[in-house]
Amino acid sequence: MLGASAISFILTGGALVLTLAVGALISYPDIAVLELLISTISVTLIVGVAGYPISYTTWLAIDLIMRPLDADELANTSKQQ
């Protein structure tokens, strides 16, 4: 669970920084703070909520790569099906 949360945090933080950077560059001479705040909060909420299942699945794949199933676990999964 901690790995999935970390991946979700990294994705959400990256989206936050990217939204702030693009918004500041687009409106550079006179930065529109309210519009930048609204867009940043919106993107962060959307990426945070929609990205969690993706980060959880990604973490499960990383976990399986780091700790592959052994023969006993494979035998148990085939018996359950």
Which H, E and C letters describe 36-62, residue by residue? HHHHHHHHHHHHHHHHHHHHHHHHHHH
User: Virtual CA dihedral for 35, 36, 37, 39, nearest 10 degrees?
Assistant: 80
Per-residue pLDDT tens over the stretch 10-48: 999 999 999 999 998 988 888 888 989 999 999 999 998
**Number of independent structural domains in the chain:** 1
In this prediction, residue 27 carries a pLDDT of 86
User: pTM for the full model?
Assistant: 0.70
Could you tell me the residue range of the domain that residue 43 belongs to?
2-80
Confidence at 76, pLDDT banded by 50, 70, 90: confident
